[in-house]
Amino acid sequence: MKIELKNMRHVYPTGDEALKGIDLVIEGTEPVAIIGQNGAGKTTIVKHFNGILRPTTGDVLINGESIANRSTASWSKEVGYVFQNPDDQLFLESVQKEFEFGPQRIGMPEKEIRERMEWVSELVGLKEKLDLHPFDLTSTEKKFCTIGAIIMMNPNALIFDEPTCGQDVEGNLRLRRIISELKEKGKLCITISHDMKFVVDNFKRVVVMCKGKVLLDGKTEEVFSQVETLKQSFVTPPPITKVAQGAGLKETVFTTEAFIEAFEACRKG
Ligand SMILES: Nc1ncnc2c1ncn2[C@@H]1O[C@H](COP(=O)(O)OP(=O)(O)OP(=O)(O)O)[C@@H](O)[C@H]1O
């Protein structure tokens, strides 16, 4: 899977220029995190990955084909977008129906739907709650219901818009399992998150957005080592990373163990 943005701008009908010329390539199966302060343009950019939003100028190519060539419904089979707010996505009267709806619409055989339901409901932790109305789920479970509904459609790329919002440690661990299992199955996961610990624990590549532009894009360690540039985006590295930077360590560390190792190495000269 390859998603390519070429000098792409998006201006909302209100006149807000949310994206100001983006060049970006995301390719393969390595999960990518998109970070940045509120209003940086993260949701706007990812809504272009399956045509929910269309570029005002420039182009978006999916596996080399312009997004302009097809409908959003058609692109959604290839790139699934999980909404930031579950209430924007869930509308049926049971979790099971939410899981069946997308696959049935794209003509997935019933047998395959049943098999995927087994795997997906287990993966997102809703196996025992398939008969429940989504409104009777906790806010965390609702989020996993929206994620499950998109995984059910078996797209090659999945966009998670703020899945960590409101999650506890257990929820973050489940998200970690989901992202890693999807990668194993050859899927590309692109995730927006404000949770920097989750980002450094789960992503080797990070794209930092700031005021409608890509400010930084690269390996997680490299991105978080750009202390001065990062300040422009108001992104705060995880506490342990900040302590290490404050202590003058050269390495960008994300764990206590890495901190101790780098500190010892520094002490020994
Ligand atoms: N439907 C809309 N109509 C007009 N302007 C919008 C609309 N949606 C977003 N914007 C504006 O576009 C800019 C980028 O918004 P966007 O939601 O993409 O940012 P974000 O980085 O995802 O923010 P957050 O972290 O708060 O979700 C902001 O200035 C926002 O006010």
pLDDT category at 29 given cuts 50, 70, 90 is very high
pLDDT at res. 226: 94
6-10, 18-22, 82-86: the lowest-pLDDT one: 82-86
Residue 7 Cα, ligand 1 centroid: separation in angstroms? 19
Alpha helices per DSSP H over 76-168: 95-105, 110-123, 139-152
How much of the chain exceeds pLDDT 90, in percent? Answer: 92
pLDDT category at 9 given cuts 50, 70, 90 is very high
Q: Which of 11, 22, 44, 164 to mutate to test the pocket of ligand 1 (most atoms within 8 A of CB)?
A: 44
pLDDT category at 143 given cuts 50, 70, 90 is very high
How much of the chain exceeds pLDDT 70, in percent? Answer: 100
| pTM score, whole prediction | 0.95
| pLDDT exceeds 80 at position 269 | no
Distances, alpha carbon 28 to alpha carbons 57, 63, 186, 243, in Å:
26, 11, 8, 34
Asked if residue 230 lies in contact with residue 208, where contact means CB atoms within 8 angstroms, the answer is yes
Q: Which two tokens stand for residue 199?
A: 């980002």
| pLDDT exceeds 90 at position 268 | no
Q: Which of 8, 10, 12 to mutate to test the pocket of ligand 1 (most atoms within 8 A of CB)?
A: 12
Residue 33 Cα, ligand 1 centroid: separation in angstroms? 18
pLDDT at res. 8: 97
Instruction: Name the CA radius of gyration of the chain, rounded.
Output: 20
pLDDT at res. 137: 94
Q: Whole-number mean pLDDT of the chain?
A: 95
Q: Which of 8, 11, 16 to mutate to test the pocket of ligand 1 (most atoms within 8 A of CB)?
A: 16
Residue 227 Cα, ligand 1 centroid: separation in angstroms? 25
| pLDDT exceeds 90 at position 167 | no
Query: What is the average per-residue pLDDT within 12-31?
Result: 97
Dump pLDDT digits (tens) for 168-205.
899 999 999 999 999 999 999 999 999 999 999 999 99
What burial class does residue 140 get, using C-beta atoms within 10 Å of its C-beta: 0-12 exposed, 13-18 middle, 19+ buried? middle
Residue 121 Cα, ligand 1 centroid: separation in angstroms? 32
Query: What is the average per-residue pLDDT within 225-254?
Result: 92
* Nearest atom in ligand 1 to 194's CA: 25
pLDDT at res. 267: 84
Asked if residue 197 lies in contact with residue 238, where contact means CB atoms within 8 angstroms, the answer is yes
Residue 45 Cα, ligand 1 centroid: separation in angstroms? 10
Dump pLDDT digits (tens) for 37-56.
999 999 999 999 999 999 99
Pocket of ligand 1, beta carbon within 6 A: 12, 14, 16, 18, 36, 38-44
In whole angstroms, what is the distance from residue 9 CA to residue 20 CA?
5
Give nearest CA residue, ligand 1 atom 12.
18
Query: What is the average per-residue pLDDT within 240-258?
Result: 92
| pLDDT exceeds 90 at position 144 | yes
* Nearest atom in ligand 1 to 44's CA: 18
Domains annotated on the chain, with CATH: 2-231 (3.40.50.300), 238-268 (no CATH)
Dump pLDDT digits (tens) for 79-123.
999 999 998 888 999 999 999 999 999 999 999 999 999 999 999
In whole angstroms, what is the distance from residue 28 CA to residue 63 CA?
11
Q: Which of 20, 43, 210 to mutate to test the pocket of ligand 1 (most atoms within 8 A of CB)?
A: 43
Query: What is the average per-residue pLDDT within 131-154?
Result: 95
pLDDT at res. 90: 87
Coil vs helix vs strand at 49: coil
Residue 187 Cα, ligand 1 centroid: separation in angstroms? 27
pLDDT category at 166 given cuts 50, 70, 90 is confident
Distances, alpha carbon 228 to alpha carbons 216, 234, 251, in Å:
12, 10, 16
